[in-house]
Structure 1
C-alpha cells in the first residue's frame, strides 16, 4: 500500500508530470506560474512595500543558514568565494551611492549584509580554506564584472547627480543581477548540492522573486509613474530587466530544490546543463 499511496499523491503526480514535459513546456508552465503568483500577490498583499520587507527577512534567514554552515559544520564546501566577493563589491558600491544619493533604512540593512558577507569571505579564505572547492569555483570574475561596467557606462540614471555616481549606481544594479552566477557554476560542477548550501541559494531565489514582484506591482499600482520617477531613456526598463534576470537565473535551481524537497531528498541533484 505504501508505494501505491505515494503514486496517488497529487503533489508527486504533478511533479512527475512536469518532469516528463519537454523544456519549452516547462518554460511555459514556469511563466504561467509566475504570472499567477503575481496576480495572487496583487490582490492578497495590499501594501506591496511589504514584499520588499519580506524579501529582506528571507535574505536574513538565508544568511543565518550560511553562518550556521560555516560555524557549526566547519566547512565551506559547495560555496563560491567569487559570488561572495561579487556580492561584497556591489554592496560596497551601493552603500557609497546610498550615502551620497539617498540615505535610508536600506542603507543600514546593506551595511549589515556587507559585514556578514565580508565575514563569510574571511572564513572561506582563511579559516575553512581546506574545504574550499577552488577548482570548481572556476568562473572568472571579469566575465561578470566587465559587461556590467560597459552597461553602466552606456545606460545609467538620468538624475541630477554627478555622472560618476550615476554610473556606479547602474553598475551595482547590473552586478547584483548576475553576482550569483559563480555560485551556480559551482553547483553545476558538483551536480550534488548539500542541504545548507541549497537552503541558502533557494532563499536567494525567493528574495529575487519577491523583489521582482515588488517592482512590477509598484509599476502597475502607479500606472507607470514609477518608471518616470526612475528617469527616462533606457534606464527604467533596464532596472526592471535586471530584476527579472535575477529571478530567471535562479528559477531552474529553485525548481529542482522544490522537487527534491517534495521527493524527501536531503540533497539537490542537478542534471547537466541546468545552470
Structure 2
C-alpha cells in the first residue's frame, strides 16, 4: 500500500467520523443529505459482497466493515432517531436520487470488465459512487449557509477521491500496474463534481469567512 492510498482511506474515515460527531454530539443532521447517505449504503453493499469470500488482508476487511457499518448507522440516525430526524432538511433534500440508480445499473450491465454477478455489481458501485454526492451538493446550494462540520465533511470526502486518483497514478508509473479505465474514469468524474465546492471552501478558508455557495 502506498502513501496516497493510505491517506485516501484515512481521509475518507475522518470524513465519516466528523459526520458521526456532528450527529452524535449535536443531535443534528442539518445540511446533510439523506439521499446521498442512502446511495452510499447501496454503493458499499454492492461493492463488498466479497467480504466473507475473498480475504485480502485484515486491514482491508476492517475498513470494509467500518465503511458499510457507519453508512448504515448514519441512515438509521437520520431516519429513525427521535431527535436527529427532526433536524433533517427534508424539503431542501429533494433530489430524486433513485433516478441515478437505474442508469448506473444499465451502464454496469453494458460496460464492465467481466459479465459476472460480482463484477457487474462492483462496476455498478463505481458508477453510483461517482454521482452519489450530487444530492448533497444540491442541498448545500439550496441552504447556502453551511456549518463548519458539514463543510469539512464534504471537503474531506472530495479529498479522499482526489488522493485515490494520485494513488492510481502512482501505481501506474511506479508499480507498473495497468490502467483500469472504468475505475479511472468514474474517479475523475466524481472528483470533478467537487471542483466548484473546493473553490468556495478554500476561498472561505483564506478569507476567514463562513462557507457559502452561490444559488
Per the normalisation by structure 1, the TM-score is 0.73
The structure 2 residue matched to 1:93, chosen from 40, 46, 49, is 46
Change (3 A) 1:94 1:102: farther
| Other-structure match for 2:212 | 269
Contact 1:97–1:169 (Cα < 8 Å) also in 2 = no
Residue 222 (structure 1) shift: 4.3
Aligned equivalents of 2:42, 2:15: Cα separation in 1: 19
**Counterpart position of 2:22:** 69
Match of 1:226 among 165, 178, 182: 178
Contact 2:131 2:190 in 1 (8 A): yes
Q: In the alignment, what sits opposite 2:76?
A: 122
Rounded Cα–Cα distance in structure 2 between residues aligned with 1:149 and 1:250: 23
For 1:191, which of 144, 149, 170 is the aligned residue?
144
Separation in structure 1 between the aligned mates of residue 194 and residue 67 of structure 2, nearest angstrom: 20
Tell me, in whole angstroms, the C-alpha distance in 1 between the residues paired with 2:52 and 2:178.
22
The higher radius of gyration belongs to 1
Q: Secondary structure at the match of 1:269?
A: coil
Hey, what does 1:31 align to over in structure 2?
Answer: none
RMSD value, Cα: 1.7
Cα distance, 1:217 vs structure 2: 2.5
Q: Give the SS at the match of 2:28.
A: coil
The structure 2 residue matched to 1:255, chosen from 177, 195, 199, is 199
Alignment correspondent of 1:144: 100
Pick one of 122, 135, 139 that aligns with 2:91: 135
In the alignment of these two chains, the number of paired residues is 212
1: CA distance, partners of 2:73 / 2:187: 26
- State the alpha-carbon separation in 2 of the partners of residues 184 and 90 from structure 1: 18
For residues 183 and 58 of structure 1, the distance between their equivalents in structure 2, rounded to whole angstroms, comes to: 18
CA distance in 1, matches of 2:62, 2:160: 18
Structure having the higher helix fraction is 1
Aligned pair partner of 1:237 in 170, 181, 185:
181
The residue that corresponds to 2:65 in the other structure is: 111
List alignment gaps of at least 5 residues for structure 2: none
Q: Any gaps of 5 or more consecutive residues in structure 1?
A: 1-47, 228-235
**Residue in 2 that maps onto 1:156:** 112
Q: Point out which structure has higher relative CO (alpha carbons under 8 A, 6+ apart).
A: 2
Q: Counterparts of 1:81 and 1:253 in 2: how far apart (Å)?
A: 19
Counterpart among 4, 7, 10 of residue 57 in structure 1: 10
Equivalent position of 1:205 in the other structure: 158
